[in-house]
Structure 1
Amino acid sequence: MTEEAALREEICLLARSLFERGLTCGASGNISARLADGGLLVTPTGSSMGRLDPARLSRFDAAGRLVAGDAPTKEMPLHSAFYETRGDRCGAVVHLHSTHAVALSMLPDVDPDCLLPPLTAYSIMRLGRVKLLPYFRPGDPAMGDAVRSLAGRRSAVVLANHGPVVAAKELEAAVHAIEELEETAKLALLTRGCGAVGLDDAQIRDLVRQFGVEWDE
């Protein structure tokens, strides 16, 4: 099996796993992954993550031209912005409409510069600081501009009233990270108002130092 064929299968396998566990529904959510030649494989617009066809994934060349497959997701501005600003740190991007992350994004008293409270070590290790971005109409190119304004300093954002977007060097790592984001958002909602004790500053600094986490202000 070629590298491209294997990546096509992996995208569909992981997308189906996310769909079947309720992390995205209907025709929502999208995934992209970079190929060795600099091109991208992208899930098509209007497609269910639970029923993707590897042969119909959108195929872009290294110049960003669609060269094969169905029309890509309308959220391409999001994906492109992460690849442009994070360079070799970005080999895949995953965007979901997961329930708890969306719910957290709508609350009035969250910190937009650090949406997820530091409840667990793994949320910090896999995500760093998660930025809350404002609401944009789905497909609005301004979403990409908002990601570019972060200048590559964030691997994970949540679009208000919409959903999380996570970038990582490899596809599986991006999937694991967005799953961690959703679980941490769920924990934040479950413990809200309960006086939950999260990690303190010293514990956070230790994780940042040991694992090279992006945690700058």
Structure 2
Amino acid sequence: MLYPTERANLAKITKNIYQRYGTNAAGGNISVRLNDEHIIMTPTLMSQNHLCDLSPYQILVVDMNEMIVEGDGRLTREINMHMACYRQNRKIGCVLHGHARESMVFASMGIDMPNLTEATQKFGEIPCLPFAPACSPELAEIVSEHVKQLDNDVLSKVMLLNKHGVLVLEESLNKANDMLERLEYNAYIAYKSMIFNKLGITNDTLHEEQAYAFNLEE
């Protein structure tokens, strides 16, 4: 079997993401660039049919022409969005798309997510991209154009897909999983904070213009 260690790790992390509400039975997909020839990727219907409990052989090995080299399953139609990211920036090593529970509040409303926690400051802005139907060439193009504008020196990038979910770009699968967790905690805090602000519950000693020396390292 090709890439047994990498495929086993992707299967393990995919299951963990599902169990921690990083995606749901409606979908989600994850890919990892291994080299200039191959990526590995979760199969279509991984959530609906398998509850993200996959064997390593169900993780597909795919070439850069979007052809399956090895694996038991079919390619998701969202392969076009993943490949658009890889083709746009060679530094991207993992593309993680999920329907994360807390972040879906902002994605479903079509609004940017406030970036409030120290652990997410490396993201910069957390934008909600313009709407396009899931799996469509239009959505892949919107994502590609956004990736083109990103700071290439900072790979920890996340974005919301309007009405659809989240997209995390990182240099490795483990880091992408880490960033999804950070995003979800920030989403929970952000919408609670918005409710507090509406209720007039504030800390008068803190001001938005105050400069904080955030730790942006790992």
Q: 2-side partners of 1:46 and 1:7: how far apart?
A: 20
Residue 42 (structure 1) aligned with residue 70 (structure 2): no
Look at both structures and tell me which one has the larger radius of gyration over its CA atoms. 2
- Counterpart in the other structure of 1:133: 129
- Return the TM-score normalized by structure 1: 0.82
C-alpha distance 199-94 of structure 1, shift in aligned 2 (>3 A) = farther
The CA deviation at 1:76 is 1.2
- Counterpart in the other structure of 1:202: 211
Out of 59, 62, 72, the residue aligned to residue 61 of structure 2 is: 59
Q: 2-side partners of 1:37 and 1:181: how far apart?
A: 29
Contact kept in structure 1, 2:160 and 2:166, CA below 8 Å: yes
1:54-133 map, 5 Å: 54-69=56-71, 70-88=73-91, 90-107=92-109, 110=111, 115-125=112-122, 127-133=123-129
- Counterpart in the other structure of 1:145: 141
Secondary structure of the 2:32 match is: strand
C-alpha distance 35-162 of structure 1, shift in aligned 2 (>3 A) = same
C-alpha distance 73-63 of structure 1, shift in aligned 2 (>3 A) = closer
Consecutive unaligned residues in structure 1, runs of 5 or more: 213-217
Consecutive unaligned residues in structure 2, runs of 5 or more: 152-156
Task: Give the AA of the match of 1:184.
Answer: N
Identity fraction in percent: 25
- Counterpart in the other structure of 2:154: none
C-alpha distance 185-175 of structure 1, shift in aligned 2 (>3 A) = same
Contact kept in structure 1, 2:22 and 2:180, CA below 8 Å: no
C-alpha distance 50-64 of structure 1, shift in aligned 2 (>3 A) = closer
Task: Give the AA of the match of 1:54.
Answer: P
Q: 2-side partners of 1:198 and 1:5: how far apart?
A: 51
Q: RMSD of the TM alignment (CA)?
A: 2.5
- Return the TM-score normalized by structure 2: 0.81
Q: How many residues align?
A: 201
The CA deviation at 1:23 is 2.3
**Larger displacement relative to structure 2 (191-200 or 176-185):** 191-200
Contact kept in structure 2, 1:122 and 1:180, CA below 8 Å: yes
Task: Give the AA of the match of 2:109.
Answer: L
Q: 1-side partners of 2:117 and 2:58: how far apart?
A: 39
The CA deviation at 1:63 is 4.3
Task: Give the AA of the match of 2:166.
Answer: P
